[in-house]
Every structure is written in structure tokens, then in C-alpha cells.
Amino acid sequence: MKALHDQTVRVNSGAAWEMKKGQRVRITFQSIVDFVVFNRDNLQERFDQARTKANQGKIYLSTGDLLLSKVNNPMMAIVEDTFKGTHDLQYGMCSECSYTTRWNRRHLPPWNKLYPEAGITCREDLPLWGCYENIMTALQNYPIIPLDIPAPLNIGQHMELDEKGNLIWAVFAKHKELFDPVPHIDLRAEMNCLCAASCDPGSGKLGSSKGFHPKPIRIQVFEE
Ligand SMILES: [Zn+2]
């Protein structure tokens, strides 16, 4: 089937694309993908992490689950998902600000252990910008102010919870098993959509020190 839209997005950059109701997007990834969606006919209506979790009574989404807006409208449905891990719905997006904040907290756990192990000795060893800036740039031709970009569905960001509710960001530890073979996720638009995605930098030197090397992602849109 011929794709209506076929785009490769390099690491630490973003893309935006429109979809008509009923069209399907396939995102093929060996990186974390921060993904957001807006109602194309009313850009103030956008993806909502909390409603998506609460209405479906779960924190991990996969095939058959919906992406919901703040007013509970189904925006997209996951129709295929070959990723062997979980897609995170707890963390927001990385950004220039988030990396700087972590760097400023480098004397505190877990960074005071992780950074020396990874050979991180200066702010420039962490990504200089992140998914927030990538999505902001991708949406620059739309009337959406950056503060209105919602917290994303973090595709491929494998997340585990311990019995006390602590978040365990396990994607680095398990990336070899999770990304082989190369996974994809298919989402069907349940309304006319404006989508945006960022190919996450994988925490730069911190990820690469653990053997996690993000690769460009591919975005293909098809008629259903
Ligand atoms: Zn990111």
C-alpha cells in the first residue's frame, strides 16, 4: 500500500503531520518517540495523559487502547503494537530545561552515581535540547503556543513500577531485547488530527554509555 506521507525523522528532531479520520499512521522506531496529537478542527483540544489513563483504568497502553482528550473524546486508537516493552505515560518530555535541571542536581542521587559512571563531566555532555523543543519547532506553522503542548505518549520508553509505586526507567537496561526485531506501532485517527513526534536523544552520553544508540524513526500514513 502506498503511503500518503512517508518521512524519516533524525535523532533529536521532530515532525508534524495531519491525518483525516480513519487514516492510519505507522511509527517504526529504535528510539523513544514522544508523541502528541491535537484535534485538527479545534487545536485547543489535545491529548490528555490523565484522562487516557483514568478512563481506561490502566497506565500502559497497547493494541485496542485509545488516546483521549481532556473532554474524553477518542482521538486515536492503537490498532497494532509490536513493541515488547511498555509505552510510558508518567514522564513528560525531555527539554533543554529538564537536562539543565538534572545537571544542576548532579550532586544528588541518582545523578551523582550515574554521571561519573557515564563519563559526564559538563552540561554539554547531555543533550543541549530535547523533545519539547523538537515538537515546538515541528508545530511552528500552527497557532499553538509551546506551553499548550501536552505531556506525550512516550512510545518505546519502557517503564516499570515497583511495589511502592517508584518509577523504574528500564529502557536502557533492556533495550537489546526490546528493540530487536525493530518494533512499530500503528494508530488510527478517530477524528481529524494534527500529530507531532520527536525522536528522543536517548539522554545523549548517558544512554550511549549503556549501549543505547537511538536511530532515526520512520513515520508512514496510510488510508485505512
Ligand atoms: Zn525526549
What's the pLDDT tens digit per position in 105-126? 999 998 999 999 999 999 999 9
C-alpha–C-alpha distance, residues 25 and 195, integer Å: 10
CA of 1 to the centre of ligand 1 (A): 31
Q: What is the mean pLDDT of the chain?
A: 96
CA of 29 to the centre of ligand 1 (A): 14
Residue with cell 506525550: 152
Asked, for residue 73, whether it belongs to a domain, the answer is yes
Asked, for residue 99, whether it belongs to a domain, the answer is no
C-alpha–C-alpha distance, residues 127 and 222, integer Å: 33
CB 223 within 8 A of CB 20: no
> pTM of this prediction?
0.96
Asked, for residue 108, whether it belongs to a domain, the answer is no
Question: What is the DSSP-derived secondary structure letter of residue 151?
Answer: P
For 84, 97, 164, 172, 209, the CA distances from 36, given in Å and listed in that order, are 21, 19, 29, 23, 29
C-alpha–C-alpha distance, residues 113 and 7, integer Å: 38
Asked, for residue 185, whether it belongs to a domain, the answer is yes
Asked, for residue 110, whether it belongs to a domain, the answer is no
CA of 214 to the centre of ligand 1 (A): 11
pLDDT reading at 2 higher than 90: no
Asked, for residue 121, whether it belongs to a domain, the answer is no
CA of 38 to the centre of ligand 1 (A): 19
Which residue range is the domain that position 88 belongs to? 5-92+134-219
CA of 158 to the centre of ligand 1 (A): 13
Percent of the chain with pLDDT over 70: 100
Q: What is the distance in angstroms between the CA of the first residue and the CA of the last residue of the chain?
A: 10
Asked, for residue 184, whether it belongs to a domain, the answer is yes
Alpha helices, DSSP H only, in the chain? 49-56, 96-104, 111-118, 131-138, 171-178, 205-208
Asked, for residue 206, whether it belongs to a domain, the answer is yes
pLDDT digits (tens, 9 = 90+) for 41-77: 999 999 999 999 999 999 999 999 999 999 999 999 9
Total residues found in the chain within this entry? 224
Q: pLDDT at position 180, please? A: 94
For 106, 120, 219, the CA distances from 198, given in Å and listed in that order, are 26, 24, 11
Domains: count for the chain: 1
Q: pLDDT at position 169, please? A: 84
